[in-house]
Amino acid sequence: MPERYSGMGYWEIITRQMSIVTKSQQTRFKESKIAVIGCGGLGGTVIEMLARMGVGELNIVDKDSFDMSNLNRQLMSSIDSLGKSKSEVTKEKIRLINPYVKVNAFYEELNGENLDKIIGNCDIAIDALDNLATRVLVSRYAKEKEIPFVHGAVHGTMGQLTVFNNTTVTYEELFSLPSIGKELKSKTKQEIQNLSQSTPPVIGPIANIIGSLESFEAFKIMTNNGKITLAPKVLNIDLLDLSSFSCLEL
């Protein structure tokens, strides 16, 4: 790294956003630790934007490796990354974007046994998942630990975004999932998964837009700057229908 980037380099990177936040707000973001669950279409964008905005530390987790089908939307993927761990590739790319961000990469599946390790000491948990059962698991844990849970999801050209905390309805309640009030045993997990059995279609821009919005919700939470999109409000967009750009209360 060039010598001029030592010391004040962090503040050089984010100088263009300093008219939007105060130094104390940015310092709070610099000192924050955020967990991003998934390093794919949503996660890659979330992680990159958090790094470019100057987050302090990231826990990133993904059990998959990149393949050809990821290239249409996953910003961390490239021909050179095919067959490689998504979390490890992402960690290295973030080092090249903003070396002041500490990245802890976990090449494993998130489950009930590693929640404390990956999310427990974080300020925010961000949903970049494509698995309903894991979303329920993470949302319950976040609720219990009073960690804000930023939810994003995409399908085709459509996307949605909302934020849950200890004062809002839960993820399961908002979307009326069959798991409400049940233990997450095999039968319940299967009931959840039955709601979405096929691989959903998705085009790059919608994943990148929702991922960017998720990162900014986290920025708003940590800097206390702006109005957070708290559940039951849900931001819904469809790139094929401009009239859909609205915030609805379910």
Q: What is the CATH T-level fold of the domain 20-249, as seen in this structure?
A: Rossmann fold (3.40.50)
Phi, psi of 61 (to 5 degrees): -140, 135
Domain boundaries defined on the chain: 20-249
> Half-sphere exposure (CA, 13 Å, Cβ side) for 34?
35
Residues of the chain under the 70 pLDDT cut: 1-7, 197, 246-248
Give pLDDT, residue 246.
Answer: 67
Pick from 217, 219, 211: nearest CA to 237:
211
Please name the residues in contact with 1: beta carbons below 8 A apart, sequence gap of 6 or more.
9, 99
pTM metric for this prediction: 0.94
Contact 62, 126 (CB under 8 A): no
Give pLDDT, residue 200.
Answer: 87
Summarize pLDDT for 170-226 with one digit per residue, the tens.
999 999 999 999 998 888 888 888 887 678 899 999 999 999 999 999 999 999 999
Q: What is the mean pLDDT of the chain?
A: 94
Q: How far apart are CA 43 and CA 39, in angstroms?
A: 4
Give pLDDT, residue 6.
Answer: 55
Position 170, amino acid: T
Query: CA end-to-end span of the chain, whole Å?
Result: 49
Strand ranges (DSSP E) for the chain?
Answer: 33-37, 57-61, 102-106, 124-127, 149-155, 158-164, 233-238, 241-249
Cis peptide bond prior to 205, omega within 30° of 0: no
Calculate the alpha carbon distances from 48 to 1, 38, 112 in Å.
Answer: 19, 13, 27
